[in-house]
Structure 1
Amino acid sequence: KPLLHKFTSRVVAVDGQAVRASKNSIQKNGKYILTFYDTDNGIALGQKLIGEKHNEITYAADMVEGLDLRGSIVTADALHTQEKFAAKLIEQGADYCLAVKQNQKTLYYDIQLCFVDRLETRTLEIEKIELGHGRIETRRISVSPGNTLKADHLKKWIGLDEGTIIKATTEIVDKTTGQISSLDRYFICSLNWFNTHIAEQCARSVRRHWGIENDLHYVLDVDFFQDRTQCKNANYLQNRTLLHKWALGVIRQAQKEEENNTGKTAKSVKRYMAQFNAPSIALDALTRIIG
C-alpha cells in the first residue's frame, strides 16, 4: 500500500511468466508465476506459483478475491477470457478488458461481424512514428456497443450488455522497403459505452497491458536474471520471485521520485541496483519512499 498512488481507472494487467531454468522432465518450460501487475504504479499486486501454463485459468479468478481492484481496469490475454474470471472482477468492483481469439470461436467471429456491419462505432486513431526503428506505426482503436452482440453472449459475459467491444488495428510501414504489415485484435470490455471518452479509455487499456511484459517480465529476466534461477524447491522460487518484484517496485518509485525532483530521465534499473548494494543508501531510499 505505501508504494501505491491513486490513479483514475488504473490498469492492472494479468499474465503468467515461466522461470525457464526451473524446468524438469515434467514441466518442459519450467514453473509459471501468475502475476497481477499495476501498470500505472509499476507494482506487482500479487503472485501465485501455478506450475503449468494452463493452470492460470483456475488461479486467476481465485486471486481476484484477495486483491483490492475496485475502480481498476483489469486486462488479460485470451487465455483468461473466461466467464468466471470476468464475473469475479465485476463482483469486486473492477472492469475488464479481455482479448478474444479463436479459442472463443463463436464470440471471436461474431465480434468481427459486428465491425463489418457496424452502424454505431466510435473510432480513435493514434499515430506513432518511431524513426529510430525505421518504421511508421499506426494504431487504430474502434469501439462499438457491447449490446450489438447476440443475446447469448450478453447472458454469459456480465457487464458486456452495457459495455463495449473493441477492434485494435496495428499497421506498420517499413520505411526502407515500403512493406506494410497489419494486425487486427479484438476485445470485450465492461467499460460503459456511454462514457464520454470511451475510445480513449479503451485505447489506453489495450496499450497498457503490454506493461506487464515490457516493464515487469523483461526487466526481471534481464536485470534480475530471474529466467536463470535454477530451483526445484517451490517455496524458494515463490519467495525469490516475490522479493524480485518487491525490489523492482521500490526502484520504480525511486525512479519516479528522481524524475519529479530533477525533471530528467531517471537512472536505469541496473544503476539503481548497483547503488542500492550500499545498505545505507538502500535504507535511506526505503525511508523516503515508504516513510
Structure 2
Amino acid sequence: MGRRGITIGEVLCHFEELEDLRSEINRKHPLESVIVIALLGVLSRASGPTGIATWANLNADFLQSLLHLPHGIPGKDVFRRVLCALKPEAFQQCFSNWIKTLRTAAAQATENDRPTLAVDGKTLRRSHDVQNGLGPLHSVSVWASEYGITLAQVATDEKSNEITAIPRILQLVDFKGAIVAIDALGTQKAIAERVVDGGGDFVLALKRNQEKLLDGVEDYLVEQMEKDFADVKARRRVAQETGHGRTETREYIQLEAPSTLPGLKHWKKLKTIGLVHLTSLRNGQETTRVRYFISSLPMGIKQFAQATRNHWGIENSCHWSLDVTYREDDSRIRHVDARENFAWLNRFTLSLLKQHPGKGSLVMKRRSCGWNSKFLLEVLTAVRS
C-alpha cells in the first residue's frame, strides 16, 4: 500500500512568499516553477544552470504538464539569474517547513527522536575566482546523522572561520532533545551554553585550541586507565567494522568529569569526559588515533559511542556523497550567492534521496531520477508507489 507524501502543489507553496528580485522587464517565468525545475534538474544529475536548462528542455512535455510555464521552458540564463539574485538565507528559509516534515517522518521511520546533529564545515575547492579576489566557498552545515537530512547551511565569511558560523547555524535549527556533536574548532564555552540553553546535549572534541582542558582530560583518563579504573565508575565499549579492504576497531571509554578538571565550572552542565581509540588495519599496516571529548551527556557508553560515531558520519554519509555522487568539488559556479544557493540545492536533494527507501545506491537513484519521471516525483514528493 502506498504512503501519501506531499503534492507538487504543496512543493510549490514553499516558494510563494519568496521575494522575486529579478528585473520585472523580462520576468516571464514564475519563480516557483523555476525553483522546482532546478530541484528536479539537480536530482537528475544537473550540476549547474546549463545542465538544468538542458535537462529541462529534454523533459519539456513532462514539465509543462506539471508546472505553470506560460512562456515555455526557461533558458540557462534564467536559472543563472535566479540563483544569483536569491539571497541564500531567504532561499534556505523557504525549505524550513519541508525539512520539519522530512525530520518528523524520519523520526517515525527510525523510531529515534534523539538524533545526533553533526556540525561540520566543507570547502568547495574549485569555486574560487582568483582574478576577482573570491576565495573558495566554505560552509558549515548541520547533518541529522540518523535521518540523513541536512537541516541548515551557513557560509563562513572569507575573513572568518567556523567559530563565527556555528552560533549562527545553531539559531536556524531546533535541537531540543538532540545531541549536538561538534569538532574541536567549535569547542567553545559559549557554543556549549547555547546548546544546553536550547534543550540539547553537547559532545565536543578536544584539540590544542583548548590546551589546558585537553591536557586535564588526557592526564585524568591515562591515570585512571593505569589503575584499571579501580577508583572510578567507568564505561567501556569495543566495536569492530570490516569493509572496503580494512578492519576498524573502536574502543570507547567514558568517565564522569572530575572536579579537578581545569575550567570545569565555566562549561555549562559538563558532566562526562571520554575518549575514542581507533585502530585501523589495511593491507597489513596498522594505524591508530585517539580523540578526546567533553560532554553534557550523563554516563551511558552506548549513547556516547553513537554520538561520536555519528559525528564522523557527516564525512562518510554527507560530504563523501557530495564529492563523489554530486562531484561538488568540481563546481565552477563563482558568483558568491549562486554557489551558496547551488550548494544548498545539492544538500537538500541529497536529503531527499536519502529518504527514499529503495535499495539502490545514491548514484543509481540519481540516475533513475533522470531516466524516469515517475521515480523522480516519488523522490521529490516522498510518495511511495
Partner of 1:233: 335
Partner of 1:269: 362
SS in 2 for 1:191: coil
Letter in 2 for 1:88: R
**Superposition pairs for residues 82-161 of structure 1, below 5 Å?**
82-118=188-224, 119-130=231-242, 133=245, 135-150=246-261, 152-160=262-270
More strand by share: 1
TM-score between both structures, scaled by the size of structure 2: 0.66
Q: Distance in 2 between matches of 1:33 and 1:12?
A: 16
**Superposition pairs for residues 203-242 of structure 1, below 5 Å?**
203-242=305-344
Q: Distance in 1 between matches of 2:379 and 2:243?
A: 37
Distance 1:54 1:279, change over 3 A: same
Distance 1:132 1:272, change over 3 A: closer
- 2:105 matched to 1:12? no
Q: Distance in 1 between matches of 2:159 and 2:316?
A: 19
Distance 1:208 1:236, change over 3 A: same
Percentage identity across paired residues of the two chains: 28
Given that 1:14 and 1:74 are in contact with CA atoms closer than 8 Å, whether structure 2 keeps it comes out as yes
SS in 1 for 2:378: helix
Q: Distance in 1 between matches of 2:243 and 2:176?
A: 39
SS in 1 for 2:297: coil
**Superposition pairs for residues 244-283 of structure 1, below 5 Å?**
244-254=346-356, 257-258=357-358, 266-277=359-370, 278-283=372-377
The number of equivalent residue pairs is 271
Partner of 2:185: 79
Which structure is larger by alpha-carbon Rg, 1 or 2? Answer: 2
Q: Distance in 2 between matches of 1:127 and 1:92?
A: 32
Q: Distance in 1 between matches of 2:322 and 2:169?
A: 22
Given that 1:142 and 1:166 are in contact with CA atoms closer than 8 Å, whether structure 2 keeps it comes out as yes
Q: Which has the higher contact order (CA 8 A, sep 6+)?
A: 2
Q: Distance in 2 between matches of 1:53 and 1:99?
A: 24
Q: Distance in 1 between matches of 2:113 and 2:260?
A: 28
SS in 2 for 1:68: coil
Distance 1:149 1:200, change over 3 A: farther
Alignment deviations for residues 158-195 of structure 1 (CA, whole Å, 9 cap, x no partner): 110xx110111112345x64x543221100011023xx
Q: Distance in 1 between matches of 2:234 and 2:134?
A: 45
Question: Unaligned regions of 5+ residues in structure 2, if any?
Answer: 1-99, 225-230
Q: Distance in 1 between matches of 2:301 and 2:218?
A: 18
